[in-house]
Amino acid sequence: MKALWIVALIALVSGCAGPGRHELLNISSFPAKASDISAEHEIFVATTRRQSIDQPRTVYGGDRSANVAYASVDITVPRIHETGRIERAKGRAPADPAKHFTARSVSFYKEPEQFARAIDASIVENKDHRVLVFVHGFNNGFDDGVYRITQIVNDAQYSGTPVLFSWASSARTTGYLYDKESANAARDDLEATLRMLAKSKATSIDILAHSMGTWVTMETLRQLAIRGDRDLGGKLGNVVLASPDIDVDVFKKQMLRYGTPKRPFVVLLSDDDRALQLSTFISGDKPRVGDYADAADLASYGVIVADLTQARSGDRLNHAKFADNPFLVQLLGEGLRSNAGLAAAENGDLGNPMSTIGKDIGQAVGSVADIVITTPFKVLSIATGG
């Protein structure tokens, strides 16, 4: 019976995967009026993927590179965009900027110093002096990561400089083990990227990691702690771990090595995360952090746990609620924008911004559910548009 359930779950995961071709750039140009575009974003990229020479529209494929490559992508968001969604062209159809997220161009940086100068220029231009590093998860193509961070910074109204760290996922449902090894191989490269950003003009570096990307992130933070620089010279801001695909016992060891964070990390989990149910099965029925039932146990390691089980999701896997639920992505933005950030609970209080946005948006977007938040100090809940 369990075997049949796993087969059905694999089919579900495969059915919800991104487009098989994973092309970022359009086949041909598509005209669009300025009035059809709501926003344009410059997404900076550090990647351990090998450049896709034979499929240039893919830009970077799933093969691993021995060296980190650097680029930036200019991408537009259509005026018809709905918060929490990523409007993409279907199949082989070209993207229409009036209807779809559309990558206009890609710039490549031959040297890390050139990339660092471009980052500094963006930081100065944005005047927020903050950087958001997004680390994507399992079964993601390069295009998936670019579109997702664009949607997040757009919907969260993040005014800092967005940086995608794209490790070499195969972007295949059957590639779980390959992806896990690619994540392992990317740890030093993420560390080098964070150190580069710490030398920039940024005053704060926020990290948002999803799924298997949380493994790369936690291993990197563990390495930084071992080297005696766990907070990047005081520049480490919010660390948000969404749907962590990490063995619970391993996570506890990682946190013990890192130590109690000065600003508590935020863990977003959901008991109905079907992607993590499959990961649990593949990993020998060992529970993953992202669907772990004992929030108080996790909180004792110095993290804030937000249980999103009752919040609705934009897909059947319930694996990306933090970004595709309109309330949650705006709540995330509110937390990242505030000086205290999502980790204001280090003083035993989540702060007024959380409760205010919960009241306003919860009334606006439909039926009410609760986000149950467990901190090292207390347990509370806020109304959402679940």
With 80 as the cut, is the pLDDT of residue 245 above it? yes
With 60 as the cut, is the pLDDT of residue 358 above it? no
Letter for the amino acid at 204? S
Q: List the structure tokens of 109.
A: 């940086």
What are 134's strand-pairing partners? 164, 208
Distance of CA 17 to the CA centre of its chain: 16
Mean pLDDT calculated for residue range 31-53: 95
pLDDT: which is higher, 58 or 369: 58
Instruction: Give the end-to-end CA distance of the chain in Å, rounded to a whole number.
Output: 32
pLDDT: which is higher, 6 or 166: 166
CA angle in degrees (0–180, nearest 5) for 223-156-183: 30
With 80 as the cut, is the pLDDT of residue 369 above it? no
pLDDT digit string, tens, across residues 319-332: 999 999 998 898 88
57 burial (CB, 10 Å; 0-12 / 13-18 / 19+) is: middle
DSSP result, 44-73: EEEEEEEE-SSSTTT-EEEEEEEEEEEEEE
Question: Helix axis angle, 187-198 relative to 112-126, nearest 10°?
Answer: 50
In this structure, CATH architecture of domain 20-91+101-346+367-384: 3-Layer(aba) Sandwich (3.40)
Torsion of the alpha carbons at 223, 225, 228 and 229, rounded to the nearest 10: 90
Q: Work out the pLDDT band at 384, boundaries 50, 70, 90.
A: low
pLDDT > 70 fraction of the chain, expressed in percent and rounded: 84
Letter for the amino acid at 379? V
With 70 as the cut, is the pLDDT of residue 215 above it? yes
- Position 161 scores a pLDDT of 97
Q: Pick the range with the lowest mean pLDDT from 64-78, 209-223, 268-282.
A: 268-282
- Position 283 scores a pLDDT of 84
With 60 as the cut, is the pLDDT of residue 97 above it? yes
Q: Pick the range with the lowest mean pLDDT from 10-19, 27-36, 372-381.
A: 10-19
CA distance linking residue 34 with residue 255, whole number of Å: 48
CA angle in degrees (0–180, nearest 5) for 263-267-269: 165
With 50 as the cut, is the pLDDT of residue 115 above it? yes
Q: Pick the range with the lowest mean pLDDT from 8-22, 150-164, 191-205, 291-305.
A: 8-22
pLDDT digit string, tens, across residues 122-132: 999 988 899 99
With 90 as the cut, is the pLDDT of residue 162 above it? yes
Q: Answer for the pair 258, 219: CB distance below 8 angstroms, yes or no.
A: no
- Position 93 scores a pLDDT of 84
pLDDT: which is higher, 283 or 109: 109
